[in-house]
Structure 1
């Protein structure tokens, strides 16, 4: 079986961290999101994956090459943004017309059983079968009206609050029959959600499959932090310390935590709960770090505190600095000593912050 991963998005809502890496390479428990997806596809028996790419396409090509996890990789590189349907059509030459194939939105983390989704697709003789997930607020997503035999009779993309046909949302994972290519005009941007799925629903050729495993849309910084938190809770091993991690005298670690190789935790520091620390990070003495993700090679100096934030690669947090809930600090930023950054502040890559930031703003 083959699969397409839609990987061309810019990740605007994840800036400033997406300014320097594709969002599919954001680490989840210190492993890129895309690696998690590749692992699960390989376990399902997928033997060929096409990455539909545009933004930072070369980064994917350099990292993964022509194969990964025992699967052959190909790259469908768009010359202009083609939207979801256009990207699928653009990858037609790599997929062929022999059998149904998987399509995944690349910025989704899920433990859905792909085999069960494929089984439902084959049983219903559908052109498209959508994985469906139940949420409290469906207004950010496409929603469906479903019959008892799982046929989708109505598909509405991002209905206003209170007007959605159900709380079952499009989870961004599909099985498509090659007939889908007949519904997508070539050479132009097409939204499969706005233009193709509603048409299939009217024709009775769109079906759904509800699942209840883990599903997280990593579209915003808060969602990204939540994904790491959920996975920390799901992991049977609540404390993982990588190779050559040094924890100095008096440091306290509160589970769950995930600490990558080469990290140094200074004296009397308090780490966790819900701390994910990338490789070669240096934490000074009496540091407080909780409910946060720290990318590789960052430094958090003596007496600094980081709560509910994301700290970019190679960034330096000065002595006694405070980074508050909801902050996203880009790569290679310098926060000077004793600077306080208030809630929900974002700092773009390579900036230097020398004075307190008392209100929500973006430093560019």
Structure 2
């Protein structure tokens, strides 16, 4: 089994947090978004993961090392491919064409999920979906009486289905997918100016490929600050019974910790109330503060803060009062 992870986007909706790191490396409950994604896919695949291929921009050597380490954490080889310009989902996947062999999961890196199923790897293909109240902003699927997908409908303004495509796909034959994507590129078949995966899916379906749905129980978005803070909250609830969420090296004095929380290595918590639903990165200090429902990344200092529903980057120095914050890396603020 191979996992293909397109993640070359700039993450503009997450700025300033994506000015120094790509969005998929922003931490959720102490681990990068893309690591959570890869680990969760591995859990629902009952086969070993042979390779994780990351399709990125030119993010630098440190990011590439981190990504390869994420692949190794699930026992896989890590491969790096580059997308030089944004030409659509089909083009992005084809940047990793050398890894499109055998059984393949394609997962776009701003999507996290909770699933209670095991992936059926004998199916031709599987589209991961969730039922939504308002399907108009999404691509959706229609099913027949055999639970096979009959149609892919992009952003339907009239109701056709409430089963939204979340951006994760399984293909039994990666080489077949590669050939269908290459056909789009060779024949310059575009939708809204870009090469789209859905066009390849439609062609494959018309040739007899049987796609089935895999319905997840929760779909978590990391598209902007508020969505990412909420996803952090949900993940902390998922993993609240795991050991090691509060690092043994953390220095916690005269403070109240309200679980679920994640507190990283060598964090300092003095005279503060932290939680619930707070993630604090390595070597971060929280002093005389109250934090709830927030993410604070590495090497930062929070003093005299009363902070909720906030996201604070790396190497931040903050001293102030209660706020709803979105502070990028290397900032210093005082009230």
Normalising by structure 1, what TM-score? 0.80
SS in 1 for 2:35: helix
Distance 1:198 1:278, change over 3 A: same
Give a deviation string over 1:173-206, Cα, whole Å, max 9, x none.
111233223322347751113x333444555535
Give a deviation string over 1:228-268, Cα, whole Å, max 9, x none.
1111112242893212212222x22222211111111122x
Query: How far did residue 211 of structure 1 move?
Result: 2.1
* In structure 2, distance between residues paired with 1:146 and 1:257: 41
Query: How far did residue 95 of structure 1 move?
Result: 2.3
Query: How far did residue 316 of structure 1 move?
Result: 1.1
SS in 2 for 1:226: helix
Task: Show the 5 A alignment for 1:1-364.
Answer: 1-42=1-42, 44=45, 45-54=48-57, 56=59, 58-65=61-68, 68-69=72-73, 70-96=75-101, 99-112=102-115, 115-119=118-122, 121=123, 126=124, 128-160=125-157, 163-176=158-171, 177=173, 178-184=175-181, 185-186=184-185, 189-193=194-198, 195-201=199-205, 205=209, 207-237=211-241, 240-249=245-254, 251-267=255-271, 269-285=272-288, 287-302=289-304, 304-318=305-319, 320-324=320-324, 327-336=325-334, 339=335
Q: Show the counterpart of 2:191.
A: none
Q: Show the counterpart of 1:350.
A: none
* In structure 1, distance between residues paired with 2:265 and 2:61: 27
Number of matched pairs: 319
RMSD: 2.4
* In structure 2, distance between residues paired with 1:191 and 1:140: 17
The answer on whether the counterparts of 1:53 and 1:75 sit within 8 Å (CA) in structure 2 is: yes
* In structure 1, distance between residues paired with 2:127 and 2:237: 28
* In structure 2, distance between residues paired with 1:278 and 1:53: 24
Query: How far did residue 143 of structure 1 move?
Result: 0.8
* In structure 1, distance between residues paired with 2:152 and 2:210: 9
* In structure 2, distance between residues paired with 1:75 and 1:81: 17
SS in 2 for 1:322: coil
The answer on whether the counterparts of 2:240 and 2:260 sit within 8 Å (CA) in structure 1 is: no
Structure 1: 5+ residue runs without aligned partners? 340-364
| Larger CA Rg, structure 1 vs 2 | 1
Structure 2: 5+ residue runs without aligned partners? 189-193
Normalising by structure 2, what TM-score? 0.86
| Higher relative contact order, structure no. (Cα contacts within 8 Å, ≥ 6 residues apart) | 2
* In structure 1, distance between residues paired with 2:79 and 2:252: 43
Query: How far did residue 170 of structure 1 move?
Result: 0.7
* In structure 2, distance between residues paired with 1:86 and 1:58: 24
Distance 1:55 1:328, change over 3 A: farther
Query: How far did residue 153 of structure 1 move?
Result: 2.0
Give a deviation string over 1:260-279, Cα, whole Å, max 9, x none.
11111122x22111111111
The answer on whether the counterparts of 2:296 and 2:312 sit within 8 Å (CA) in structure 1 is: yes
Distance 1:215 1:92, change over 3 A: same
The answer on whether the counterparts of 2:148 and 2:213 sit within 8 Å (CA) in structure 1 is: no
